Amino acid sequence: MIAARARVSSASRARLAVLMLALALTLAASAQAPRAFTVAVHDTLSFQVIGATSAYAIDANIADASASNGTITIYGRSAGRTQLVVISMTGQSTFALVVEPQRNAAQAAADANRGSAGHVESRYASAGRQLQNTVHLERVTAKQRTELHLEHIQYGAAEGTRASSSIPSASYRIFTKDRELTFLDRQVDHSPLTVSSMTIRGAHYLDEHWRFHAGYTAYTLFQSFLLPADRRTVIGAAYVESLGPHARITPGIFAYRDGQTASMLYDYDLGERLSARAELGLSHTRSFSAGAAAQLAYADDRDRVHVDLRYRPREFATPMPSDPRGLFADTAWTRTFRDGSSLDAAFSSSDFDLPNLRQRTRTANVNARVRLTDTLALLGGASYGSFDSASSVTIPLGLAYDRPRFGVTALARWAEASTTNEGGLGYRIAARASLGRVFASTYVDYQRQAPTLALIFREEPDLALALAQLGITATTPADIARALRENAVLFELGYIEGVTVDLAPARTQAGFELAWLGAGPARPQVRARLLFNRLESVGNATDTVIATISASRRLTEAADVYASYSWWKTARRGEEPMVEPLVEAGVRYRFDELPSFGAHGSIRGAVYVDENLDGVPDGTGVAEAQIDVDGTPRARTSADGSFTVGGLTSGTHRVVARVPRDANAYFTTPSRVEASSGDTLHFGVAFTPARVFGRVTSDAGEGLVAKVALAQGSARFEAQTASDGSFTIAAPPGEWELSVDPLSLPAGYSSVEARSVRLARETPRTETFTIRANRSISGRAPAGVASIVVEPLGKTVPVDAEGHFAIRSLPAGEVTLRARFGSHELTRRVTLPREPASLTEIALGDARENVAVAANARVIFAVAHANASPAASVAANTPPASAPRDGRFVVQLGTFRVHANAVDAVVQARRNGVEANVITGAQYTVVRTAPFATRSDANAVSAQLTHAGLEAIVLPLR
C-alpha cells in the first residue's frame, strides 16, 4: 500500500537535475560507514558519524552505545542482534548491530585453560507474557571444542489465545583444528547471490576446502526477536580453492524449493585494510537467468569505503521469496582530514518487487564537517530521496560546538518536495553534557516536507513497539530505504501487512537521554530515554511518545541482572489514545565448569631442582611448592617435591606450579601446562640466576620506555623499562643476545643493533642502549648558494639548483647554518629539541635570524616521545590549551600506529572518568593525560584505568 503523488514543474526538475549532477560528481568514488556493524562480546568498536550527538542500542542488554565529539563507541555486552540508533545533525539513523561470542586468540586460550564454560539466562517480557530461557554450554579439550545452545520461549495465555511454547534456536557444534560440524541451527553467510546471513536448521560441515549445508529455513531475526520463518528447503555444496595468501575462489551449487543456483565466488582479503569479493551466478527456475554481485570494504587512517552491488532478475532462484530481486546498490565513503574536518557521501538504489511490497527507492547524501577551531565546526551537506513518484531534496547548514564534557549543534535545513513543489525551512538543535559518570543528551528536530514511513502490522504485542520504533526512527530517505531493504522478510512473513512512504507537510521530533554508568566490579548502569514524534498532515496529526527506563548491574563475578520499563502512547486527532506499558527483566549467570557425573581421576608429578638448566633433576625436590588446578590451589609438594591432585573430572585441566617465596627462583621448564586425568608432570626450578641491569636512553640522555629482550634459541626473557629507561632481567647463565624491540620505541627514534652478552651467576652485568632521535632541518637558500656548513658539527650539505637543502642526523641543542652568498655570509641559528623533530621551511638568509626555532618553521614529525615536554610540540600537536603546563607526571595509555585505535583509547578513558589527549605524529599517535603535580596523583589515575582494563603507565614530564 503506497501513497505518493508527483507534481514536478520544469523549474523544479532543472534544480533537481543540477543537484543530482553535483551529487553524482561527489559520489563518483562513494562509500561511508557500513550499514551493519559487528563487535565481539566485551570488545569495543568506534567509528565516526559527522555531527553525532547521541547513540543507543535498542536492546541495552546486548550492547552499550555512546557518542562523543562525533565518535560512536559500541561495547558488546552479550551475544545477539539488535539495532543501533545514532542521532546526528541530519536526524536519526539506524544500523544493524551484531554482537558475536568472543573468539579471539586470548579468549580461545582462556577456553582451553578452563576446560568448560557456559551461561544460562532467563528473560521475561510482559508483551505476550513471554518467558525466554537460554542455555549455552562449551567444553574444550586439547583436540576439539564442543558447543550446545538451546533457546526456549513460553507464551502465556491471553484473551482469545492459549498458552504455547517453541524452541526458536537450537544447535550442537563440534570444532577441531580445521573442521566444523554443526547439527540443527547455523547462520549461513555463503555469498550475496546464494545464502546470505540466513539461519538454516539441519546439518552443516565445513573444512579447509569443503562447505556442505542441508536443511530448511528456521527463523529470521528482527532486532532481538527470533521470528518463525516459512520452512523452505536449502541444500548446498561448495569447494574453496586458494589462489595465494590473500585470494581464493569458491565454486558452489545450491538447490531450493523453487529452483537451483550455481555460483562462482572470488575473494581477496588484506585483513582490516582491504577486502573485496565478486560473484557470478546462474539460476534455473522455469528458465535460466544470470546474476552478479560485488562487494568492497577499504579502511585506512583517513578513508573508509564500502560498496555493495547486487543484481538478481525476477526469475532468479533464492531461498526465500522475500530475498530482493532487481538491482541494489549501497555505496558510501568517509574521509577524515588531518585538521579534524571530515566528509562523507553515500548513494543507494533499491527495487522491491514482492507480494506485499512494491517500491523503487533512490537516495544520495553528502555531509561535511569543516573544523574552524579546536571546538567549533561548520556543518553542511545535501540529500536527495526518491520513492516511486515522490521525491525530496534537503540542504542542511549549521554549526557545532564541542568540548570534552559539553557540546551543542544548531542546524537549519531547507527541504523541497515534488508532491507540493514547495519548500520549507526546518531546524535541529542538539546538545550533550557529562559530569563524572552521568551523561545526558537532548535534541529537537522540526522538518518540513519530511519523508515518513508508516507501517501497518498485524497484532503482535511483543513486536508492536519495535515495529513502531522502526517507522519513527526512519527520518531520512536513506533510513527509509535501508529499513525497507533490511526488513523485507517481515513483509513476506506477514508481520507487516502494508507500508506507506509519503512526504508529511511537517514533522516534529524531540528526544532526551540520561545515563549513569557506575564504576567498580558491579558495573551498575541506569538509563532513561524519552522520544516524542508528531506527524502533521492536512487536517490530522499523530503524536507518539515512547519512554523507557532501564537498569543493569553485576551481582557477583558470574551473575548479572537487568530490567526495563517502557511506556508507549499513540494519539490521533479525534481518536481515543492508545497506551501500552511494557516490562522486561532478566538474569544471566556464567560458569566456568560443568558438573561431571562420571568417574574422577588424578594428576601426579614432582617439582625438582634443576641448577644445570638441562631439564634433568639434580636429585633434590622442592618442598612446599603450590600446585593450582583450574585457578584453585589444590596441593603442596612433599619433602621430595612430589604431589598428587585427586578428584578431577575428565577433560583438560590447567595446572600451574608456584615455588616458595624466593626472589631468585625461576622455572627452567614451563610452569603452566595443560593435563588430563592420569597424566604425570615434572617442573624444573633453579635458584641462582644471572642478571643483567641496564638503561635505554635517547642521545640527549632522556630515559625511554621500551621493551628489552634476552634471547637464546627458543628461550626468551622480556622486560619493560621504567620511566627513567632502567630495566632488570634475570635469566640462566650463558651466552645471550640482548636487544631493544624497535616497535616498542616511541615514534621518531632509530633502531639499535642487538648485542651479545655473557651472563654469570652472582656477577650482574650492566648494559646501556643509546637510541638516536631523528632530527632534521630542511628549507630553501637563495639562488647561487651551493652548500651549507653546519656548526659546530663541521658538516657540509649540498644545495640543489632550486635552493632546497636537507640536513639529517642532528643532535639536540643549537646549530648554526652558514653559507656564502656572493660576498656576504648568511647565517641562521636553530635550536633543536631533545625529542625527535623535523623542521621544515627554514629560510636561510631570512631577516629574522638568530631565533631559537624559526617562526616559520613547521614540525611535520610531531613529538611522539612518551616523555616529551609540551614545549617540544607546535600548535597542531600540543595538548589542549586547557591542560596545565606545570605538572610533573603524565599517564600514558599507549602509542598507536592506527589513529582510530588512539581515538578508541581516548573514548574508553573518558567513559571511565579520565580525560585524555591525542598527540598525532607522522607514524604514531600517543594518548596520554594532562600533567599531574605529583606522582601519587598520576598513580591513582593509572590504577583507575588499569582496573577498567586499560593499559596505563606513569611517566615523568621533563
Given the DSSP bridges, would you call strands 288-299 and 274-284 parallel, antiparallel or unpaired? antiparallel
pLDDT at position 289 is 92
What tens digit of pLDDT does each residue of 893-947 get?
776 656 667 777 777 787 777 878 777 665 567 788 878 777 777 877 877 777 6
Query: Does residue 219 register a pLDDT over 70?
Result: no
Query: Does residue 244 register a pLDDT over 50?
Result: yes
Top-tier CATH class for 775-859: mainly beta
**Which segments of the chain belong to CATH 2.60.40.1120?**
690-771
CB 87 within 8 A of CB 429: no
Cβ burial, residue 323 (10 Å; 0-12/13-18/19+):
buried
Which of 96-100, 220-224, 225-229, 380-384: highest mean pLDDT? 380-384
If one compares 179 and 338, the residue with the highest pLDDT of the two is 179
- Interior/surface letters 699-713, b for 16+ CB within 10 angstroms, e for the rest: bbebbbbbbbbbeee
Which residues pair with residue 817 across a beta bridge? 790, 828
Q: Which fold has domain 690-771?
A: Immunoglobulin-like (2.60.40)
Mean pLDDT of all residues in 860-883: 30
What tens digit of pLDDT does each residue of 2-52 get?
333 333 334 334 333 333 333 333 333 333 334 567 777 666 676 666 556
CB 902 within 8 A of CB 840: no
CB 587 within 8 A of CB 122: yes
| Cα dist from 940 to 441, 507, 727, whole Å | 30, 50, 23
Q: Residue 780: what residue type?
A: R
Cβ burial, residue 57 (10 Å; 0-12/13-18/19+):
buried
If one compares 71 and 609, the residue with the highest pLDDT of the two is 609
- Domain 870-956: CATH superfamily is Sporulation related repeat (3.30.70.1070)
Query: The domain 601-686: what is its CATH number?
Result: 2.60.40.10
Query: Does residue 474 register a pLDDT over 70?
Result: no
Average pLDDT of the residues of the chain: 75
pLDDT at position 437 is 81
Tell me the three cell numbers of residue 500: 506507506
CB 431 within 8 A of CB 442: yes
Given the DSSP bridges, would you call strands 36-40 and 91-100 parallel, antiparallel or unpaired? parallel
What tens digit of pLDDT does each residue of 679-700 get?
889 898 887 677 888 999 988 8
**Which segments of the chain belong to CATH 2.60.40.10?**
601-686, 775-859
What tens digit of pLDDT does each residue of 226-243 get?
455 567 889 999 999 999
Which residues pair with residue 291 across a beta bridge? 281
ω before 792 within 30° of 0 (cis)?
yes
Query: Does residue 821 register a pLDDT over 60?
Result: yes
3-state secondary structure string, 151-196? Answer: EEEEECCECCECCEEEEEEEEEEEECCCEEEEEEEEEECCCCCCCC
What tens digit of pLDDT does each residue of 353-371 get?
655 556 677 888 898 889 8
- Interior/surface letters 448-466, b for 16+ CB within 10 angstroms, e for the rest: bbbbbbebebeeebbbbbb
DSSP-derived 3-state class of residue 403: strand
Task: In whole angstroms, give the CA distance from residue 259 to residue 262.
Answer: 10
